[in-house]
Chain A
Amino acid sequence: MHERRYDAVVIGGGSAGLAAALALREAGRTAAIVEREPFLGGILMQCIHSGFGIHEFGVDLTGPEYAERFIGRVLAAGIDVFLDTTVMEIRPRGERRELTALSKRYGVVRLSAGAVVLAMGCRERNRGNVAIAGSRPAGVFTAGLAQRLVNIEGCIPGRRAVIVGSGDIGLIMARRLTLVGCRVLAVVEIQPYPSGSVRNIVQCLNDFSIPLHLGHVVTRIAGRERVESVDIAPLVDGRPDEARSFRLDCDTVLLSVGLVPENELSRAAGVPINGDTNGPYVDADLMTGAEGIFACGNVLHVHDLVDFATEEARRCGQRAAAYLGGGARAGASAAQSKVAPGANVRYVVPNAYVPGRENVLYLRPMIVKNDAVLEAAIDGAGIRKRKLAHVQPSEMIRLVLRADEIPAADPARPNLMEVSIR
């Protein structure tokens, strides 16, 4: 058995885990990363397309290039890395937390940590979650699994594909499959607007003449052994219009139908989960409802851009380091007030703010609208308005509130901050 003691243990070595661990180390804390894959970098390592790092580094990088910029620093900083290691359990032990992990390399691993940072990322929603009817042949993949099969395992998943959902991974995979000789017949999106970015619609679909069927659903997958066809129908009043249904012969179906933060480990550790994000509730320091357990990146809420996951994780690492130091946390947490989603906002993360310091909020709209106005208000009194040219649910909004914009807490009032979009 392998036993070690650290100031902080970070679970997950993807973009969030790497940035959180570095921030902890830079603040003078000992830290370890536990990663279940045999390499660091997480999902970035299968994202061989570009589009990463514009905000973080001011350059356009591929996923592995983006990851490499952190991995080199993590290794140089003396952060211990446990690869091929899966955390099975987190439980409090006195003032500290004990983690039990299973590892192909080290066997049973027990780690003691003052602080734990959850950075496990998310998983893909699958066919069962969206209940597509029909038979259950081979050839149905989530888009991320197909991406892994192509870009890391070097396999070609099929010859003729239909992609369900126009999320960014689905769009990227439409192009990727085309480039490996698989014909992509259609991308089918249930919403009347695309879920992915405009850039990906142009570069991954339009440039390759791949049709995008908005407001359509796949009603049936057919095939005995391997997929043979799918039926696609337009949605009318929320129901498929069978009369206008059409069939595409294909051997592959890719599902890009959303991501779910992976919080089974968190739940088992007693971390309260927010039904709006499927991630933990966190305070202004990104600490969850369980003492000493922090969360950042896609395990907290699903980000659109890795750059923002990195930013959030860096802040999480800094706050966890301050928590380990004691003083700063005691002062800050005493002054926290709640943040809640207001009109047309699905969620805001974090779920609390601190007056007198900069607060960065991430929020997701519930509506599609041009010329929208974003407003933050405390107990009904506006503190910030911002015009937004366009909002849609698939684009996260980042709101930075300066220290001087936030009034000191009034002990006679709830001090509830609401963020709304109109």
Chain B
Amino acid sequence: MFDVAVIGAGVSGAAIARRLSAHVVSVALIERAVDVSFGVSKANSGIIHAAFHHEPSTLKARLEAAGNPMFDGLQAELGFPFRRVGIVVAAFSEEEMKTIEVLYARGVANGSPGIEIAGRDRILGLEPKLNPDVRGGLFAPSGGIIEPYRFAFALVENALANGVRLFTGWNVSAARRIADGWHIESEKGERIEARWVVNAAGLFADGVSALFGAESFTISPRKGEEYILERGCAGLPSRVVFPVPARNSKGTLVIPTVEGTVMLGPTAEEVGDKDDVSTTPENLERVFDLAARMIPQVSRRDIITSFAGLRPALPGGDFYIDLSRRAPRFVQVAGIQSPGLTASPAIAERVKGLLEADGLALPPKRDYVATLPRAPRIRELSADRLEPLVAEDHSHAHVVCRCETVSEADIVEAIRKGHTTLDGIKFYTRAGMGRCQGGFCTYRIMQIVARETGMPIESITKRGGASALVVGRLGAGGTA
């Protein structure tokens, strides 16, 4: 019997599990996908928002403002890629400048540090690549960029080191009340019992809530398409560039990613299907038109890949984080769309508070280790640090992914941390994320996975399930 079962290992669930791991409680972190962050979180835009978009009365505004300043400490502890590059909102008309004033007032009310209204010269000075037609805008220096999956991986890795148990490929299919908590079953018939349950199931939080007889609500997937441009291309801005927002979304952005590529997007489109992560030619056009209006140098010639993600939206658009009023010992963490990534550390604090208020004792863990030992990665090392490392182990000098400079040792590290799919290894190491998109490294990674895990090559998948990369071998059975 666990003290707490957290359903969903996206950034919210991961942050909650890690936060609880500082206390003497047993925690199960349950993920439906084959790896952590493979749902909503992996397709996130990777922005640490600066608390000026949402009205101060909303829960999301409060948690965004509370979460933002926590990232410096988290980065110091966990070492994920994160930089506070600042956010610029570009206005192109007097009318848009009026909206800037509204955003500024919200930012001030929410406590966004250093936020300012900028005139044309000031905004162009802050982001020289902006379209010179810009009238002015907003500058929020506390905004930042992050790799969302690396953040989730780091949280989970640290949680595991502090005793949390992770169950991946575990799709909750039934739940029933037992004397002291909950009995939960997976699709495959596995069982977990827990005294408290936290529903951080993202797109599927509505279904999970129903299984536990808790509140009835509907999560509507809202799709966002994103396009990635090559590292160092002409369209790379130095800050996150936002348009003046539309009604139901923060708009299509030009984002300098923490790894030096450019991300354009997201779009915002209601879709019925929680599996629909397809991109469309129409949105490609739209995204580039919108992005080029802000940063004219963005070019379709620089695209290296595209993807789509789904936001788990609740009617009304706010977060729903509370103890269930219908199901006992059940905490709802639903509707966590933007700015959920920014808010996630504050969400974890709030959930911890709710559990405590509901009677869960949370004595501090004496041997809690907040920091994560960092395996050296060759792409992050200077020559004088690389040489002794290589002298010790030549697998650090075997360059498996040349676009992103990922070594065999980096790949092995990812595998040993439990990432055995191509996507898991990609998100963990960046191998295959560069300009050639795995054309060079795919078979090399497959060989290393086969060697390290003993898996036959045809059972290695892109992201679990039926996503096998190859279907068979030549001469299987011993004939040529």
Contacts and interface: CB of A to CB of B under 8 A. Distances in A.
Partners in one complex: yes
A127 B437 contact: yes
Contacts of B306: 128, 131
Given A137-B462, A156-B472, A145 B442 contact: yes
Nearest to A224: B275
Nearest to A123: B436
Given A102-B397, A149-B443, A225 B465 contact: yes
Interface residues of B, number: 60
Contacts of A145: 438-439, 442-443
Interface stretch (B310-318, B334-342, B360-368, B385-393): B385-393
A266 to B, nearest CB: 14
B474 A131 contact: no
Contacts of A351: none
28 contacts: A86-B402, A102-B399, A103-B397, A104-B394, A104-B408, A105-B394, A106-B397, A123-B436, A123-B439, A123-B440, A126-B305, A127-B437, A128-B304, A129-B304, A131-B306, A133-B278, A133-B280, A133-B284, A135-B278, A138-B469, A145-B439, A153-B446, A153-B447, A155-B470, A156-B473, A158-B471, A225-B461, A226-B467
Interface string B275-308: 1111111001000000000000000100111110
State the 8 A-B residue pairs at the shortest beta-carbon distance, nearest first. Answer: A128-B305, A138-B462, A104-B398, A102-B397, A138-B467, A225-B467, A155-B470, A86-B399
A63 B402 CA distance: 25
A310 interface: no
Interface in A171-200: 180
B474 A180 contact: yes
Interface in A139-156: 139, 141-142, 144-145, 148-150, 152-156
A124 B304 CA distance: 12
Determine the interface band of chain A, counting residues with CB < 8 A from chain B. Answer: 35 or more
A219 B457 CA distance: 31
Given A102-B390, A226-B467, A128 B397 contact: no
Contact of B466 (A129, A142, A225): A225
A219 B280 CA distance: 9
Interface of A: 1, 36, 84, 86, 88, 100, 102-108, 123-124, 126-129, 131, 133-139, 141-142, 144-145, 148-150, 152-159, 180, 219-220, 222, 224-226, 251, 264
B278 A134 contact: yes
B279 to A, nearest CB: 5
A32 to B, nearest CB: 17
A111 to B, nearest CB: 14
Contacts of B473: 154-156
Contacts of B443: 145, 148-149, 152-153
Given A104-B397, A126-B436, A222 B470 contact: no
B277 A128 contact: no
Interface string B413-434: 0000000001000000000000
Contacts of B304: 126, 128-129
A159 B471 contact: yes
A188 to B, nearest CB: 16
